[in-house]
């Protein structure tokens, strides 16, 4: 992989981890997701219009069905992720979400699509499982703990992290099909998928308008940060794909888990930072091994 592509991936990883930390600090729900979507739709409208002006009118039923499917899957992903951030630590939810997505995709391919896996791939699965174990508490799980609330918080983080990873795997398959087999622009798939997300989230946001307006006033800075920077990390990855094979770029993106463990542990002062960082390292290494195997 060229050094320039690797630098883009590193920068994208920092940005990706950063907007997740902003989402965690917002402590939001579906109404925050709606606010983020509205901001994203407005901020990136010039780019969406410029790229889609001569393209979108030629989309057919297949293209639009994939955009709608992508939007629906992203809604479930984002709402579950936000709920996990409200009920558990970012340094548990985020690595599990980012690591379990590729793992689940690989397992589906092995079980249902008849694909084979090498020794490297098996080692990758072992690395992800070990990382999950360390993030969950490592050897202390067998010794138990008197802090029942903390133990419950970790267990919730595991459940929400894995559930988020399942939806990451689902929208990854959907978006990859749209981009690879229908040659759709990734930026347009994401932009118009976001419009679908806004429409789907609107009823939840408008059900109690006074409460929504109050939350918007409290959370607008975090929503704006997410809306502005989250698409940038994806654009940087697209530039990296132009310079290196996507089979190398995709797993390398999981470096964002390391930044989340480092930045999140420091800024949010979440416990067991060293153990969770080691767990994130194992998950990242396991995902890379899965891609190679």
Verdict on whether the full-model pTM lies above 0.85: no
- What pLDDT digit, counting tens, does each position of 104-128 carry? 766 776 676 666 667 887 787 777 7
- Check residue 280 and give its pLDDT: 72
Average of per-residue pLDDT values in the chain: 78
DSSP per residue, 75-105: HHHHHHHHHHHHHS-HHHHHHHHHHHHHHHH
Q: Which has the closest alpha carbon to 95: 266, 236, 264?
A: 264
Across the range 171-195, mean pLDDT stands at: 85
For residue 142, what pLDDT band results from cuts at 50, 70 and 90? very low
- On whether the CB atoms of residues 29 and 82 are closer than 8 A, the answer is yes
Q: Which has the closest alpha carbon to 67: 156, 161, 179, 234?
A: 179
- Where do we find the tokens 């002006």? 53
Backbone angles phi, psi at 134, to 5 degrees: -70, -40
pLDDT at residue 131 is higher than 60: yes
HSE at residue 277, side-chain half, CA atoms within 13 A, is 12
Helix (H) or strand (E) holding 70: helix 61-87
For residue 193, what pLDDT band results from cuts at 50, 70 and 90? very high
Query: HEC string of 10-53?
Result: HHHHHHHHHHHHHHHHHCCCHHHHHHHHHHHHHHCHHHHHHHHC
Dist CA 20 CA 36 (whole Å): 12
For residue 267, what pLDDT band results from cuts at 50, 70 and 90? low
């Amino acid at each position: 992989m060229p050094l320039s592509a690797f630098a883009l991936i590193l920068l994208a990883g920092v940005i990706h981890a950063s907007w997740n930390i902003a989402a965690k600090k917002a402590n939001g729900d579906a109404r925050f997701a709606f606010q983020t979507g509205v901001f994203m739709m407005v901020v990136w409208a010039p780019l969406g219009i410029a790229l889609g002006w001569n393209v979108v009118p030629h989309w057919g039923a297949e293209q639009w069905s994939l955009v709608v499917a992508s939007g629906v899957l992203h809604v479930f992903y984002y709402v579950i992720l936000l709920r996990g951030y409200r009920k558990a630590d970012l340094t548990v939810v985020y690595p599990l979400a980012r690591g379990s997505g590729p793992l689940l995709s690989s397992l589906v391919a092995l079980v249902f699509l008849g694909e084979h896996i090498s020794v490297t791939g098996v080692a990758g699965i072992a690395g992800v499982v070990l990382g999950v174990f360390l993030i969950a508490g490592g050897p202390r799980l067998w010794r138990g703990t008197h802090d029942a609330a903390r133990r419950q918080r970790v267990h919730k983080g595991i459940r929400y992290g894995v559930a988020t990873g399942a939806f990451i795997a689902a929208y990854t398959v959907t978006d990859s099909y749209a981009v690879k087999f229908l040659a759709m622009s990734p930026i347009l798939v994401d932009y118009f998928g976001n419009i679908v997300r806004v429409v789907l989230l609107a009823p939840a946001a408008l059900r109690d308008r006074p409460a929504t307006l109050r939350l918007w006033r409290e959370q607008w800075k975090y929503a704006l940060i997410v809306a502005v920077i989250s698409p940038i990390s994806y654009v940087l990855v697209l530039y990296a794909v132009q310079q290196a094979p996507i089979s190398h770029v995709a797993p390398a993106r999981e470096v964002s888990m390391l930044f989340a463990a480092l930045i999140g542990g420091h800024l949010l002062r979440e416990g067991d930072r060293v153990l969770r960082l080691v767990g994130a390292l194992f998950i990242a290494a396991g995902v890379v091994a899965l891609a190679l195997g």
